[in-house]
Structure 1
Amino acid sequence: MGYPRKLTRRFKAFDNFAISFTIINIISGIFSSFGFGMNAGGPRILVFGWIAVAAMVLFVGASMAEIASAYPTSGALYFSAGKLAKRHKGAWSWYTGWLNFVGQVGGTAATGYAAATFIQAFLVMQWPSYHATAQQTVLITAVILLLQALANTYTVQLVALVNRISVWWLLVGMVVIVVALIAVPDHHQSASVVTQFTNNTGFSNGIYAALLGLLVTSWTFTGFDGSFHMSEETVQATVNAPKGIMRSIGYSAVTGLILMLALVFAIGDYAAQASASAPPVQILIDALGMTTAKLLLLIVIGSMLFCGLANMTSNTRQIFAFSRDGAMPGSRWWHSVSSRTRTPVKAVWLAAACSLVLVVPGWWSHTAFTAIVSVNVVGLYLAYAVPIYLRLRHDDFQQGPWNLGRWGKPVAAVAVVWIVASSVLFMLPQASPINATSFNYAPIALVAVLVIATVWWFATARRRFQGPVSYGSPDEVAAMDLI
């Protein structure tokens, strides 16, 4: 790909799959958004929306996997955008890289904040006298980011080991939660519950509410570009990286549906649970009792912590690669690699610091925090869309060992249409009446990011950044390899 090696290939096929599977994280995704789905469409959208959206995400993943096989680099999305663009390579690469960066930083911050919120919920359950505050949530998030940065500072073998553990934590945890919800409660909903439709969004249009409910699954299925970003540390990356993307989406789709059904059938007092501060936690308490609910909540918290760690790992590799091509302020710092651990240590701490900056407004206002991190999903999916769209326009795309053959373009077309449609959904109002608290700040956050990137591009970047840099011919680059 034109770069001397600075990272070691220690990720096996399972490790590559593990990082995306952990970032998607069905337990974290479903438990953090289930309450929204109960009010925006109800069981009908939670179940059938999961199936429909997961199918669409498979199209996105397949197109990304094909590109990952052709361009297996840490730069991933922005690198492939620069290579696939026929003109204005630097601009395509620039915008893709910054959307990816902002989306990943937002994802790391949001996951850490969600974990802190559930930790506080556990503390309240354990000690009723404990009073959770916004300030304490921010402080706990800061500690979480610190610990995750420390873990990412050490060798890639440690990260791989933690991700392997996280896969089994997710799978075993999912089985434990599902079995408990099946075996313990005296009463379950009938099969007809999956057809129940509920609209508590404040909007009178049921179709609009149902479309909003699809966001539950879309929120969960993000971050599978992690396998792509770890390409330079994965053995046989042209095959194992695309397989990691597809397996993580496929396995998450199946296991997530099982968990979703278990929660839906365990619902008791629908109105009371849907209006609770944490609906899925209330379902556990009502169905299993306080003691069992607390034990299962520890599984959920652990899943969120694993998710944040994997998010930061992926974020770090994107920063490393983007800086290697001179696209970030202080690029010389951020693409340096520790001679002892062979990891981009400075990029790790930049990722942690940027995530903490996004969390700080939560000290004063949860709405302010939501406004900043809301660009997470939109930023990521738009970054996914750019190289897929450019691949669609590229008549001479050189497929890698893992490819879709003649189905490549049709699959890419479906993927682009779905990304555009889901991105529009993410930017629409999600609750009525619309006020300062309920307003969806995602479009404002996205426009702010694009304006800053555009001003920066025309001011200085277009003269110095021309897209992915080539350090020489394959033989010349091999002679430069630093490991």
Structure 2
Amino acid sequence: MGYPRKLTRRFRAFDNFAISFTIINIISGIFSSFGFGMGAGGPRVLVFGWIGVSVMVLFVGASMAEIASAYPTSGALYFSAGKLAKRHRGAWSWYTGWLNFIGQVGGTAATDFAAATFIQSFVALQWPSYHPTAQQTVGITAGILLVQALANTYTVRLVAVLNRISVWWLLIGLVTIVACLVAVPSDHQSAGFVTHFVNNTGFSDAVYAGMLGLLVTSWTFTGFDGSFHMSEETVRATVNAPRGIVRAIGYSALTGLVLMLALVYAVRDYAAEAAAEAPPVQILIDALGLSTAKLLLLVVIGAMLFCGLANMTSNTRQIFAFSRDGAMPGSRLWHSVSPRTRTPVKAVWLAAACALVLVIPGWWSHVAFTAVVSVNVVGLFLAYGVPIFLRLRLGDGFEPGPWNLGRFGRPVAGVAVVWIVLSNILFMLPQASPITATSFNYAPIALTVVLVIATVWWFAAARRRFKGPVSYGSPDEVAAMDLI
């Protein structure tokens, strides 16, 4: 790919799969956004929306996997966009990289914000005198980001081990939660409850409210580009990285549907549970009792912390690669690698700081979580869509890698692009009514600020020096430069 090797290939096939499976993290995604879905469509959208969106995301993931096999680098999306563009390669690469950056920062921020919320729910259950506040949530989020940044700085090998453990934590935790929800309650909702529709968004249009509920599934299925970003640290990356992407999506879709159904049918008092501070926690309490609910809540919190850690690791690799080509302020600083761990330590702290900036509005906004989720979904899926669109436009000129879709590559890419455009328009729109300063969806503002900065910088200076991914020489010359 034209780069001297700085990163150690310590990720096997399972490790590469684990990074995306952990970031998708069905337990974290479903539990953190289930309450929003209860008001935006209810069981009908939660279940059937999960199935429909999962299929669409699989189209996106398969197209990305095909590109990952052809261009297995840490730069991933922005690198492949620069290589697939016919003209203006620097501009395509530039904007893809910035969208990927803000989307990944949003993923880290939203996951850790959700973890902070659930930690407070656990503390409130354990000590009833404790009353969670928005300010405490932001403070706990900052503490989580600090710990995850320290882990990525000083215990890199441990992070790799934790990513492997996280897969089993998710699977065993899923089985435990589902088994409890199925076996313990004396009765469940009737079979037809799955078609129950609810609109508590404040908007009178039921269709619009139901479409907003699709955010639950879309938020869960983000971050599978992590396998792509870890390519330079994965053995046989041209095969293992694309397999990691597709397997992570497929396994998450199936296991997530089981968990979604278990939660939906365990509902006892829909109105009261939907109005609770943390609706899925209240469902566990009502269905299983306080003691069991607290134990399972620890499983959920652990899954969220694993997810946030993997998010930060992936985010850091994207920053490293983007800076390596001189596309970020202070690029020389962010793409430097620690001689001890062979990882981009300074990029870790930039990722943590940017994630903290995104959650600060949670100090006063009660829709901060869904806004950060929208930043995550829109930023990432737009970044996913650019190289897929360019691959589609390139037609037969695309040179696939060992893992490819054959003659189905272009139709699959076409479906992926259409879904990305439609879903991203939806998630930029208001998510609660009436629209006030505290209920405003600030995702468009956050994305606009980033794109305006990127555009001003592009036309002021970057377009004259940034031409897309940099090549450091021929394969033999680059091999001689390898730092490992």
Assess if the C-alpha contact under 8 Å between 2:365 and 2:439 holds in 1.
Answer: no
Q: Which moved more, 1:368-377 or 1:245-254?
A: 368-377
- Cα distance, 1:371 vs. partner? 4.7
Q: How far has the Cα of 1:135 moved from its partner? A: 2.4
- Give the 5 Å matches for 1:363-378: 363-367=363-367, 371=371, 374-378=374-378
The yes-or-no answer on 1:120 pairing with 2:120 is yes
Pairing 1:162-173 to 2, within 5 Å after superposition: 162-173=162-173
* Amino acid across the alignment from 1:402: W
Alignment CA distance shift 1:150-1:387 (3 Å):
same
Q: CA deviation at 1:312?
A: 0.2
Q: 1:191 aligned to 2:191? A: yes
Cα deviation 1:33-80 (Å, max 9, x = unaligned): 111111111111111110110000000000000000000000000000
CA distance in 1, matches of 2:368, 2:178: 35
Please report how far the alpha carbon of residue 416 of structure 1 lies from its aligned counterpart in structure 2 after TM superposition.
Answer: 0.3
Give yes or no for contact 1:375–1:445 (8 Å, CA) kept in 2. Answer: yes
Tell me how far apart the structure 1 counterparts of residues 377 and 112 of structure 2 sit (CA, whole Å): 15
Alignment correspondent of 2:344: 344
Aligned to 2:129: 129
Q: Answer whether contact 1:242 1:402 (CA < 8 A) is retained.
A: yes
Indicate yes or no: 2:475 matched with 1:436: no
Whichever residue aligns with residue 359 of structure 2, its letter is V
Counterpart residue number, 2:421: 420
Deviation at 1:98, TM superposition (A): 0.5
User: Could you say which residue in structure 1 is the equivalent of 2:331?
Assistant: 331
Q: What are the Cα deviations for residues 418-449 of structure 1, in whole angstroms up to 9, with x where unaligned?
A: 00011011012222222222222222222222
Q: Distance in 2 between matches of 1:262 and 1:323?
A: 44
Counterparts of 1:211 and 1:134, CA distance in 2? 27
Distance 1:427 1:33 in 2: 17
Segment drifting more, 332-341 vs 216-225: 332-341
Unaligned runs of 5+ in 2: none
Cα distance change, pair 371–252 in 1 and its aligned pair in 2 (3 A): closer
Amino acid at match of 2:98: W
**Larger deviation, residues 470-479 vs 101-110:** 101-110
Contact 1:431–1:439 (CA under 8 A) maintained in structure 2: yes
Is 1:81–1:96's contact at 8 Å kept on the other side of the alignment? Answer: yes
Task: Report the counterpart of residue 207 of structure 1 in structure 2.
Answer: 207
Q: Distance in 1 between matches of 2:360 and 2:213?
A: 29
Q: Please give the residue correspondences for 1:43-442 in structure 2 after superposition, counting only pairs within 5 Å.
A: 43-154=43-154, 156-367=156-367, 371=371, 374-395=374-395, 396-442=397-443
Going from structure 1 to structure 2, the CA distance change for 1:377 and 1:234 (only over 3 Å counts) comes to same
Amino acid aligned to 2:356: L
For 1:168 and 1:106, the matched residues in 2 are separated by 25
Say if 2:374 and 2:428, in contact at 8 Å, map to a contact too: no
Q: Distance in 2 between matches of 1:173 and 1:86?
A: 47
Q: What is the root-mean-square deviation in Å for CA atoms of aligned residues? A: 1.3
Q: Could you tell me whether the CA contact under 8 Å between 2:73 and 2:231 is conserved in 1?
A: yes
Amino acid at match of 1:77: L
Question: How far apart are 1:107 and its partner, in Å?
Answer: 1.1
CA contact (8 A) 2:112 2:141 kept: yes
CA contact (8 A) 2:367 2:441 kept: no
Paired with 1:249 and 1:368, the residues of 2 have a C-alpha distance of: 27
TM-score by length of 1: 0.98
Q: Distance in 2 between matches of 1:372 and 1:187?
A: 37
CA distance in 2, matches of 1:369, 1:74: 28
1:333: how far off?
Answer: 1.3
Q: C-alpha separation between the residues in 2 aligned to 1:250 and 1:212?
A: 23
Write the deviation string for residues 225-244 of structure 1: whole angstroms up to 9, x where unpaired: 00000000000000000000
C-alpha deviation, 1:366, in angstroms: 4.4
- Cα distance in 2 between the residues matched to 1:179 and 1:129: 31
Q: 1:322 to 1:311 in 2, by over 3 A?
A: same
Deviation at 1:329, TM superposition (A): 1.2
The letter of the residue matching 1:237 is: A
The whole-number CA distance in structure 2 between the counterparts of 1:363 and 1:42 is 28
Deviation by residue 1:4-34 (Cα, 9 ceiling, x = unmatched): 0000100000000000000001001001111
Q: Do 2:113 and 2:141's aligned partners in 1 also have CA atoms closer than 8 Å?
A: yes
- State the AA in 2 paired with 1:115: A
| Partner AA of 2:442 in structure 1 | Y
Amino acid at match of 1:467: G
Quote how far apart the aligned CAs of 1:372 are.
5.7
Q: 1:332 to 1:461 in 2, by over 3 A?
A: same
Q: CA deviation at 1:213?
A: 1.5
Partners in 1 of 2:131 and 2:155 — Cα distance? 39
Letter in 2 for 1:78: Y
Per-residue CA deviation, residues 173-209 of structure 1 (Å, 9 max, x unaligned), is 0111000001111110111111111222222222222
Assess if the C-alpha contact under 8 Å between 2:365 and 2:438 holds in 1: no
Structure 2 equivalent of residue 481 of structure 1? 482
Rounded to whole Å, the distance in 2 between the matches of 1:185 and 1:74 is 47
* SS of aligned partner of 1:394: helix
Equivalent residue letter for 2:406: G
**Separation in 2 of the partners of 1:191 and 1:126?**
34
| Structure 2: distance between partners of 1:8 and 1:482 | 10
* Cα deviation, residue 113, structure 1: 1.1
Shift of 1:150: 1.5
Match of 1:41 in 2: 41
**What is the match of residue 471 of structure 1?**
472
Judge conservation of contact 2:219–2:376 (CA < 8 Å) in 1: no
CA contact (8 A) 2:359 2:368 kept: no
Equivalent-residue separation in structure 2 for 1:213 and 1:234 (angstroms)? 36
Between 63-72 and 103-112, report the one with greater CA deviation. 103-112
How far apart are residue 120 of structure 1 and its match?
0.7
State the distance in 1 between where 2:2 and 2:154 align. 27
Contact conserved, 1:23 with 1:310, CA < 8 A, in 2?
A: yes
Matches of 2:34 and 2:360 in 1, distance apart? 26
Question: Which residue does the alignment assign to 1:17?
Answer: 17
Percent identity, please. Answer: 84
Q: How much does 1:211 deviate?
A: 1.2
